[in-house]
Structure 1
């Protein structure tokens, strides 16, 4: 279990007070210089102007307020990372409550804005006047969600109920210039303070902190157990639990709220509680289509499930569709497995209705579905025609996306432009926008920029895209960032042993491979060891059309513990995640002359028949490995079958696997590298 939190810098208010001075002839405070050095060391890149200005202008306001209140010993944590994500809280103050003496914490979101305009369509979307034309999440709602997220994932805060509070501090703004921001309800996790409210802000500080040292409270937070990241399947299981589901952050929360409020204004049946903005939309307006675009681990599927849960709680019909059999069948299994005795049949029928496939809407009447949430929309196909399509519809060349747009009153698509893995999959934001606008619909594209996978490492996501030639630059050496562990195995046997060891230690762990080996039907009730590399061999996961004793079905391979005994293919791994991710790069992807090239002849994917152009095959193979390499939450271990490719990866991946002896026990394979992720270190203690 990973420990607590990581911070950029932690000092007492008194220590910071000595650093907020500006040396003669310098435009920067001593604190700003120290933070800039720390940022470069931790992130291996210079701090941006926004960070520099915030450190130089915003932090001193809080420090001076603490000192003015006699709270010199309160500990200030600067840039506190939220577990499992790339988001961070600007400041967390740690101290002792003046009344009870218990640990007390205040999370602060600092904003330098002087003006604010609220989007009339969505009161939690605001323009803070920075000139980039993009709305941001309301600062009060932002800190409220950050506090809720911290309580969910940091055990010390959850075990000490009421110890955490939050505020948004707009220290440059006057009340009249941000008047619209005050309309959002405040609570203990988020209240708004401006330049006109500094006296009130100081009273908040004295109500939460006494003069005692905050070092023990800060240490308790740093040493607190960090809960594992909720997987997609966890979110699905908690859909009916009060307080369950995902704590959405930043643009994720804003996107869901935007869609829900659109439905509040336009729902013709009045099933939703209509809010203050019912007059914004007029009858007969054009259909609005929402496209939510994000990379691996950006929370697309969790957002889809949370949106469906939120709408269901408002008695609004919401159907979730996908092109993935594994994803759809897993969601159905989760739902009907919770049925009470004698209600299994009803639960199965309900699960089959609310979780469907993209090709289920060929005969749907226009606007017959309230909200149709199309997850994994990058798997959208050109048409819905397949081998079981009725003869009268077989020649219908209508785009599959057009059927979905027609069937839903409010269509929502969630996708990644780099995850289409079959030749006939066409789902990109550009394709859907052009099609929808051509049909006369309004389109709103929302980018989900955060990441909830790979330890919140944006660097790892960028590295994978560069490695596979999906980015704008050539492959580069992986620089460990303390969030995501990347290792190279020397053999498939070593990779398997390491993944199994992770599984025995309580992690979820799976092995996957490129589609470079045949996929046989079971023989005499047993899986065939098709994936063979030298003397090493393992079977693929069970085919979707078969079942095998003591092995999970294809749909459940990623979530059933028995899945660790097989090698998964991209079709069963897509959408899901697990803590440790083992990836075998087959001979269909070769590293030559400084970059990866696709070797079509080595692929065994039956989708790549002779009629498929080479450029389509290259796209699908690269995207398939993009999927496989981005399933890991804690770490990823790679092995390449081709010797030249394996040799090249040794130069790009510094982390390895080695035998280590822990406390004189039997030596075992463990991760070796310059920076092991805390989540893995803790399991070794």
Structure 2
């Protein structure tokens, strides 16, 4: 997908039309079902003319230009892509556009910069990622040569010099950063073309451009081999027992597609810690070793996607990606196996859809040979999300597909304690009738106050163990995404020493690895240094695990002798606005179950509601303090 395709000369003419950017925005909206943001529109209006003026000055009128070119199999977009030929070979020049006038090195993140309060990739690193991506995904028969650069059209020579110096000695050094002083519009055309890495590039014929645009993009053999090798050697993706049996069941569907019979749905169900994600990753590795493979591992959870991509490596982007409502490109009905982890988070809109089955799933199975879904129905936390085993079985029957179900019963989280998981399931059922805790194989207790909760987490952190605090979404969340974060989780309490107030910030909302010093980005709150100092929520904890888990139950659910009572008015989660108390109760109980099953070694619970806190103490009265 792209919002403009034509020669540089044609782009120059179109940019003279005041309505050109609006037309491009309309095309973008039609493709993505959402309009581009104001900042993006402003960037297009300012950066496109600056680039095209330089390209014209360089005498590159007849080269082909794509604006906002979406990378195959990905939602990432290249600002501008030039196409031409050199010695009969197709050449693509990636151009990243920046309006920056200021950027500073990131205090702790290698390859990162701070632009104002935003954490961003170094432009050379960004271009390098795009170049590698095209090399990995464009069919080898096109014999594409890929080059790249960044054009910071508002930047001073001092800034571009500083940023180029930061890249010296690293992979980003291969991709120059150019400013206005490097590309003066009155400069000699040959000099400008050379700096734009186009001195030896001639116009490509229309057929070559068409071949590039119509090519079926798929992962290269070298990419598949790298991903397979990484997964094979990763300890976190080793399977045992039921997990390996599930893998073999999935392989039977894969082998059927290889015999020329596509049309299979496999559902893998299991509670927290049963290894659903490990199976998905391992099967992806298996698929990467197969001839002519074209697999995908998708998840609706951006947190999980980013964690998996980091574990496997950046080269896996495209093979591993976040599923929203837009399907990945380049799937093959005859050969693509799609693995959908955390399927209970998929945006299926069960309360709004007009058809019997989720449109997202019907489109997915239409475009692939087999669909493997990993889910836990008790982890559905929003009315717009989720599916059920029964729905998937009916979908397969309606489409004439084979259907297989594997239920994982052995779990490896919470110290492997079946006793604890059964207890937490009973506690967080609607009637709340859990037995008194008698377990000896898991560290469970009730904290007397939030300060005690934090002391427990800090003690484990100082001992070199991972520990986190999470809470229900019962406090405001208006903090900016980068530090200083506002201490919005605020809990007063009284004991025999007087009145107290405990305040801590939510996790950062920043999208990168680091939001600031000792503050990880939201996807890495559960795993990276500093996360223990912020309070996580279900959206950053789901799919993750850590050694010790502290959970704050807010006043959105309160215990009564007849069961849990929902108080939706106490929730700050906008996605749950307007649901009935009974509907809300289901989502809230699922939320707290997720939060209470993240700790592999121990859990501490605390409720801000006095009646609930008293009941928790009664049930856990036999635990150690």
Deviation digits for residues 339-366 of structure 1 (CA, Å, limit 9, x no counterpart) = xxxxxxxx3xx41343331433177766
2:284 to 300, 304, 308: 308
- Partners of 2:262 and 2:369 within 8 A in 1: no
2:331 matched to 1:372? no
Per the alignment, residue 616 of structure 1 pairs with 583
Taking structure 2 as the reference length, the TM-score comes to 0.58
Match of 2:520, SS? coil
Q: 1:298 to 1:421 in 2, by over 3 A?
A: same
- Measured in 2, the distance between the counterparts of 1:297 and 1:525 equals 32
Per the alignment, residue 665 of structure 1 pairs with none
Structure 1 residue 330 displacement after superposition: 1.9
Per the alignment, residue 444 of structure 2 pairs with 486
- Partners of 1:383 and 1:397 within 8 A in 2: no
2:424 to 427, 450, 464: 464
Aligned-residue CA RMSD in angstroms?
A: 3.0
Per the alignment, residue 506 of structure 2 pairs with 540
Deviation digits for residues 31-90 of structure 1 (CA, Å, limit 9, x no counterpart) = xxxxxxxxxxxxxxxxxxxxxxxxxxxxxxxxxxxxxxxxxxxxxxxxxxxxxxxxxxxx
Per the alignment, residue 257 of structure 2 pairs with 266
Q: 1:384 to 1:362 in 2, by over 3 A?
A: farther
Structure 1 residue 476 displacement after superposition: 1.4
Per the alignment, residue 411 of structure 1 pairs with 371
Per the alignment, residue 487 of structure 2 pairs with 529
Match of 1:543, SS? coil
Q: 1:589 to 1:368 in 2, by over 3 A?
A: farther
After TM superposition, the structure 1 = structure 2 runs for residues 187-336 of structure 1, keeping only pairs within 5 Å, are: 239-240=230-231, 242=233, 244-267=235-258, 283=260, 285=261, 287-315=263-291, 316-336=293-313
Match of 2:509, SS? coil
Per the alignment, residue 648 of structure 1 pairs with 615
- Measured in 2, the distance between the counterparts of 1:365 and 1:507 equals 42
- Worse-matched range after superposition: 436-445 or 525-534: 436-445
2:570 matched to 1:602? yes
Q: 1:363 to 1:334 in 2, by over 3 A?
A: closer
- Partners of 1:292 and 1:300 within 8 A in 2: yes
- Measured in 2, the distance between the counterparts of 1:297 and 1:434 equals 27
- Worse-matched range after superposition: 297-306 or 393-402: 393-402
Per the alignment, residue 326 of structure 2 pairs with 360
2:433 matched to 1:474? yes
- Point out where structure 2 has 5 or more consecutive residues left out of the alignment: 1-226, 493-500
- Partners of 1:321 and 1:358 within 8 A in 2: no
Match of 1:289, SS? strand
Per the alignment, residue 465 of structure 2 pairs with 507
Q: 1:312 to 1:654 in 2, by over 3 A?
A: farther
Q: 1:300 to 1:463 in 2, by over 3 A?
A: same
Match of 1:361, SS? coil
Per the alignment, residue 152 of structure 1 pairs with none
- Measured in 2, the distance between the counterparts of 1:523 and 1:379 equals 23
- Partners of 1:366 and 1:406 within 8 A in 2: no
- Measured in 1, the distance between the counterparts of 2:367 and 2:351 equals 17
Q: 1:440 to 1:613 in 2, by over 3 A?
A: farther
- Measured in 2, the distance between the counterparts of 1:237 and 1:410 equals 20
Per the alignment, residue 548 of structure 2 pairs with 580
- Partners of 1:362 and 1:403 within 8 A in 2: no
- Measured in 2, the distance between the counterparts of 1:242 and 1:524 equals 35
- Measured in 2, the distance between the counterparts of 1:397 and 1:263 equals 24
Structure 1 residue 261 displacement after superposition: 3.7
Deviation digits for residues 137-179 of structure 1 (CA, Å, limit 9, x no counterpart) = xxxxxxxxxxxxxxxxxxxxxxxxxxxxxxxxxxxxxxxxxxx
Per the alignment, residue 47 of structure 1 pairs with none
Per the alignment, residue 538 of structure 2 pairs with 570
Taking structure 1 as the reference length, the TM-score comes to 0.53
Per the alignment, residue 520 of structure 2 pairs with 552
Q: 1:243 to 1:326 in 2, by over 3 A?
A: closer
Q: 1:513 to 1:352 in 2, by over 3 A?
A: same
Match of 1:418, SS? helix
- Partners of 2:265 and 2:402 within 8 A in 1: yes
- Measured in 2, the distance between the counterparts of 1:548 and 1:633 equals 27
Per the alignment, residue 593 of structure 2 pairs with 626
- Measured in 2, the distance between the counterparts of 1:359 and 1:592 equals 40
Match of 1:615, SS? helix
2:386 to 400, 423, 426: 426
Deviation digits for residues 76-118 of structure 1 (CA, Å, limit 9, x no counterpart) = xxxxxxxxxxxxxxxxxxxxxxxxxxxxxxxxxxxxxxxxxxx
- Partners of 1:371 and 1:409 within 8 A in 2: yes
- Point out where structure 1 has 5 or more consecutive residues left out of the alignment: 1-235, 269-282, 338-346, 387-392, 657-671, 674-685
Structure 1 residue 417 displacement after superposition: 1.3
After TM superposition, the structure 1 = structure 2 runs for residues 439-454 of structure 1, keeping only pairs within 5 Å, are: 439-454=399-414
Match of 1:555, SS? helix
